[in-house]
Amino acid sequence: DTAVSQTPKYLVTQMGNDKSIKCEQNLGHDTMYWYKQDSKKFLKIMFSYNNKELIINETVPNRFSPKSPDKAHLNLHINSLELGDSAVYFCASTPRQGNNSPLHFGNGTRLTVT
């Protein structure tokens, strides 16, 4: 039943490690996103993919690399984790780029880097 699902829900890791967050949507949407929510609750877009093609890539360190194996999946891989990467990461999807439909968000992945 879950529309946009992210795994894991919680991720605790040490500085320098590499980790991945997975996202899958079963809504048939073409466009998927990654958002970062910092400790002050500020939400900022990181990446957007439309039909497996990268369309938005905000100023995000190269250590973050999105991967979209198909239009239902958008995974986020983070290399050499830093303390400042600690945040909640939200995956989201919309039917297609440009139609301004509401975002359907996953429940978030709380990443803690120690």
Residues that bind another protein (CB under 8 A): 40-45, 48, 56, 88, 90, 92, 97-105, 107-108, 110
User: Least distance to another protein from the beta carbon of 42, Å?
Assistant: 6
The nearer residue to another protein, 92 or 111, going by C-beta atoms, is: 92
User: Least distance to another protein from the beta carbon of 80, Å?
Assistant: 26
Q: Report the C-alpha gap between 2 and 56 in whole angstroms.
A: 25
Strand, coil or helix: 112: strand
User: Least distance to another protein from the beta carbon of 71, Å?
Assistant: 17
The nearer residue to another protein, 57 or 114, going by C-beta atoms, is: 57
Q: Report the C-alpha gap between 30 and 54 in whole angstroms.
A: 12
The total of other beta-carbon atoms located within 10 Å of residue 79's CB is 13
Tell me the pairing of strands 10-13 and 109-113.
parallel
